[in-house]
Amino acid sequence: MAGWTRSDIGGFLAKQGILIAFFLFIIGFTIANERFLAPENIMGVVRSSAILGVMALGVTFVVISGNLDLSVGSMMSFSTIVVLDLHDKLGPALAIPAMFALTLCLGALIGFLVGYLKLNSLIVTLGMLSAIHGLTLTYSGGKNMDIADKGGTWFSIFGQGEIFGIPVPILIFVGLAALLGIVLARTPFGRKVYAVGGNGVAATFSGIRRARIVFACYLLSSFCVATAGLIQASRSLGSQNTVGQGLELEVLAAVILGGASLLGGSGTIFKTIIGVLILGFIQNGLLLVGLQFYAQYVVTWIIIILAVWLDIAAKRGRLWSPLA
Amino acid sequence: MTSETKTRLFKQGAIWGFIAFELIFFSVAGSYFSLSKGAFMDADNMLLLFKQSAPIGIIALGMTIVMINGNIDLSVGATYALSAIVLLDSMTWPIFAGLGDWVIPISWALALLTGAVLGAVNGLIVWKTGVDAFIVTLGSMLGYRGLVFMYNGEDPTSHLNWTLVDFAEAQFLGLHTATWFLLGVAVILWLLMNRTVHGRNAYAIGDNREAAVNAGIRVGPHMLLNFVLIGFLAALSAVVFYSESGSVNPNDGSLFELWAITAVVLGGTKLAGGSGSIISTLGGVIAIQLLRKGLGYIGAGTETVNLVIGLILVAVLFLDRQLNVKAKGELKV
């Protein structure tokens, strides 16, 4: 009988462990430094997490559908560079839709390769990471891209503006999260994404067009990337070609931290947001406690492993792997 | 049966065919576009090519055995950087001050030990917790990189030892030191994978883990050994490269994992494990380096190299699937 209660506890930990860890962190950091919970600090953290968060929303769809997307970082560099370049050539009103269209084309290409041609998503997006980086460098000629008239453009509103005292990046993040959360949890499309990721063969037999769903997930992901690129470009009004480099792995870390399985079929938008916030608050909290910036990487490493390990341990009912 | 053999031979030969194609293409295209007078297939140029492909190549060889085993290691770039820092920094430690040039073998050993330990940490976590290697090494890629930055901040770590530089720049029988290391590692790993129990079991585990467990193979220690090996090889790659360059930036080695995986996949190793060959990976490494050099030779920049390699990777995947439509399991990560 004792086993029952233990597995109950395990199940509870597995379901809510990440939330518990999140609250423990917040309590710990608050005790260490009372400024941690100050509204302006929280606002600052959410604001700086917004770019990562917006990208993580799209990748959540891709991961739930059972695939990976390693190309989001270089794709984000691409959209940032493109929108900054077109801003001076076409004006912001035309530059933004043009950038979205180009980024969606890239997403469609990946979606076609993974969805319709059924190629391995890890390798395809690895290849696209390299290819899109090359594309960006070709486009910009390797030079940094800057907006000529930084003071006189309304373009800066997406990254620097505030509405009712709330920074616009946060509003975009929250709005997009709410929208995509509803799409994933409450629509037939969302249900099909889970079905395709959970058991692709069964989904196909029950009449779901797997290829189309996967395609749509990548399209969605590239839309989120374009939005993140827009925020990034608008925030800095100038950019290097490598602005998004390495972000793909941080995004993936946030999604995994949220409890999505890399095998597909599980994960939610809400949990991904928690994952993003955990990364953001850890970074901020460690700095406030006085540790150096790079200690967050080590802590993130430990947290990712622990989160996934406990999740697996709760599912199999024992802590250590039975592997001989 | 014969068609199967044909397909296999074709696939094994494909990478060498591709290399031959690259050589011919760049030689011909070079005579029209190149700004330099020298021929592309010049002996010195080719020797340099081997030397330049050594750092990624040594890591890619290690990646091959990990991938044959059905795992993956994304942390090699960070391991490479951390080992390099240990190598260069330990030469300036006061305890070794009186040793003169005898500090070199000690520093080498320390750097290689660092790599092996980092690899062992990955391997132990994968073995004992049962967390997927992709996630484990994704995490340690961040963690090890964090250690690199915590070691010396954002400043480069530098120490130039001229004895070491002379050693690294030496040529023996025409080949550079780095090339010898690459070839030596290839030979040893080939022997390991094809002539030992460990190699046979590693293939078996990657092919079908359940079956391997049922056959009484102890899966864990084999995976652990492979992770230790790739950590060691990432450190060896750092030792070979930084003995000559003498200065390491904290960001060095980032994206090495992607280059190494690209080389391995070009060589035809399956992500799902169970198949792959050391020799073909060597082909993949050379093909990538040829592409970089060749595109530079005909006047294209880095951006084109990235673009072309990305597209080739996707094309290889597509061709591979067309060649064995029936092969299962390779679509899963």
Fold category of B51-323 in CATH: ABC transporter involved in vitamin B12 uptake, BtuC (1.10.3470)
Asked whether the beta carbons of B10 and B278 are under 8 A apart, the reply is: no
Cβ atoms of B64 and B189 within 8 Å: the answer is: yes
pLDDT tens by residue, chain A, 324 residues? 444 566 566 666 666 667 777 788 788 888 888 888 888 888 888 888 999 999 999 999 999 998 988 899 999 999 999 998 998 888 888 889 999 999 999 999 999 999 888 888 888 888 888 899 889 988 888 788 887 777 777 788 787 888 888 888 999 999 999 999 999 999 999 999 999 988 888 888 888 888 999 999 999 999 999 999 999 998 888 888 888 877 888 898 889 888 788 888 888 999 899 889 988 888 888 888 778 888 888 888 888 888 788 778 877 778 888 776
Distance from A154 to chain B by nearest Cα, in Å?
32
pLDDT of A256 reads 85
State how far the Cα of A251 lies from the Cα of A97, in Å rounded to an integer: 24
**Is residue A9 classed exposed, middle or buried when 0-12, 13-18 and 19+ CB atoms within 10 A define those classes?**
exposed
Q: What is the pLDDT of residue B38?
A: 66
Q: Indicate the burial class of B8 (C-beta count within 10 angstroms; 0-12, 13-18, 19 or more).
A: middle
Selected for mutation to probe chain A from B135, B323, B324 (highest A CB count within 10 Å) is B135
pLDDT of A55: 94
The CATH number of A24-147+156-316, from 1.10.357, 3.90.930, 3.30.160, 1.10.3470, is: 1.10.3470
Per DSSP, the residues of B252-304 read TTTTHHHHHHHHHHHTT--TTSS---HHHHHHHHHHHHHHHHHHHHTT--HHH
How far does the CA of residue A297 sit from the closest CA of chain B (Å)? Answer: 5
Contact with chain A for residue B323, Cβ under 8 A: no
Q: CA-CA distance, A28 to A19, in Å (whole number)?
A: 14
Q: Which residues of chain B have pLDDT under 50?
A: 1, 326-333
Residue B323 near residue B10 (C-beta atoms within 8 A): yes
What DSSP assignment string belongs to B28-81?
HHHHHH-SSSS-TT-HHHHHHHHHHHHHHHHHHHHHHHHHHTT---S-HHHHHH
Interface touch B303/A304, C-beta < 8 Å: no
Q: Is A122 on the interface with B (CB under 8 A)?
A: yes
Exposure letters B121-140 (e unless 16+ CB within 10 A, then b): bbbbbbbebbbbbbbbbbbb
Q: Which A positions 222-261 lie with beta carbon below 8 A of chain B? A: 246, 249-250, 252-253, 256
pLDDT value, residue A6: 61
If contacts are CB pairs under 8 Å, which of residues 239-278 in chain B contact chain A?
254, 258, 261-262, 265, 271
Q: Is B1 on the interface with A (CB under 8 A)?
A: no
B319 shares contact with chain A (CB less than 8 Å): no
User: In chain B, what are the domain boundaries?
Assistant: 51-323
Which B residues in the span 80-119 are in contact with A, Cβ-Cβ below 8 Å?
none
- Cβ of residue A68 closer than 8 Å to a chain B Cβ: yes
Verify whether the Cβ–Cβ distance B258 to A316 is below 8 Å.
no
Chain A residue with the nearest C-alpha to that of B135:
A305
A-chain residue closest to B258, CA distance: A126
Q: Which residue of B has its CA nearest to A291?
A: B150
- Choose the closest CB to B303 out of A117, A134, A302: A134
Q: Which member of A128, A256, A312 has the closest CB to residue B310?
A: A128
Owner of token pair 């970074």: A283
Model pLDDT for residues B265-301, shown as the tens digit of each residue: 888 887 778 888 899 999 999 988 888 888 887 777 7
| Residue B301: per-residue pLDDT | 75
Asked if B124 reaches chain A (Cβ–Cβ under 8 Å), the answer is no
Cβ distance of B307 and A130 shorter than 8 Å: yes
State residue A5's pLDDT score: 61
Number of Cβ within 10 Å of residue A314's Cβ equals 19
Chain B nearest-CA distance from A63, in A, is 11
Whether A201 and chain B come into contact, CB under 8 Å, resolves to no
Q: What is the pTM of this model?
A: 0.84
Q: Does B129 touch chain A (CB under 8 A)?
A: yes
- For an interface test with B, give the residue of A214, A255, A293, A298 to mutate (most B CBs within 10 A): A298
Query: In chain A, whose CA is at the least distance from the CA of B318?
Result: A119
